[in-house]
Structure 1
């Protein structure tokens, strides 16, 4: 296996992991906490209530885009402010996420992982918009 192939597979694993986690967190906010509950929680933190809708839409939509490998770099970078907001919420709770109300280690890790994903790009098996007018989509294997 070449270094380029290993890097493409590593980017794929990271992209699928991040996509699945963001999708899960967005669906959790929408269907378990419910949208009204998530809005109320954001407002209780001092964030604009409408931001909850933006975050839920970003997590679900961005998670799906990452899973597909579409717009991987801009989506990864767009998630960083969302995770920075989560980090600020958890900052007073200490470092470890096992602390009461969760610490800030996981949001900090996610920010680093998103930066790595943005640097690596989509990796292997990403659906990419084709530059060829005769071909709408193509799948990259590396």
Structure 2
């Protein structure tokens, strides 16, 4: 039998670290490294959004990814990244269900949005800087 009191902090940490790595990769490698700042801003402009929103999304994904990896302000960061994923969901909604559809489908951003809500509910979990700092030397359960 699984003891949730012992496994939940590690499950939350696995979700947090996975999301952190993927947000960091998506913002730094895909948007910034592959398309560049100007390319990303141009893409956002071509969709009818203010081009500066592309820079905001890059910053949110990179800084949010780093915060999730470190376990800092995880609940707030998860909720803060939610509009990014909801925006992606809206953008991909007309392309159908599967993400391998032309233009990418909406199931991947929908899953990301759900995972962010779950992370916000769970908190940072194990191995988080917030848990150590806020505990003041005491062991915290599931930050």
Deviations 1:71-109 (A, max 9, x none): 000000011111111011111100110111110000000
Q: How does 1:4-83 map to 2 (within 5 A)?
A: 4-27=5-28, 28-83=30-85
Alpha-carbon distance in structure 1 between the residues aligned to 2:134 and 2:10: 23
Alpha-carbon distance in structure 1 between the residues aligned to 2:110 and 2:141: 31
Paired residues of 1:70 and 1:127 also in contact (CA < 8 A): yes
Corresponding residue of 2:126: 124
SS of 2:51's partner is: coil
Gaps of 5+ in 2: none
Gaps of 5+ in 1: none
Deviation (angstroms), 1:25 = 0.5
Q: 1:138 to 1:41 in 2, by over 3 A?
A: farther
Larger % of helix: which? 2
Deviation (angstroms), 1:130 = 2.7
Alpha-carbon distance in structure 2 between the residues aligned to 1:101 and 1:46: 16
Residue 138 (structure 2) pairs with residue 104 (structure 1): no
Larger % of strand: which? 1
Deviation (angstroms), 1:20 = 0.4
Count of residues in Structure 1 that have an aligned counterpart in Structure 2: 139
Q: Aligned Cα RMSD in Å? A: 2.0
TM-score, scaled relative to structure 1: 0.90
SS of 2:48's partner is: coil
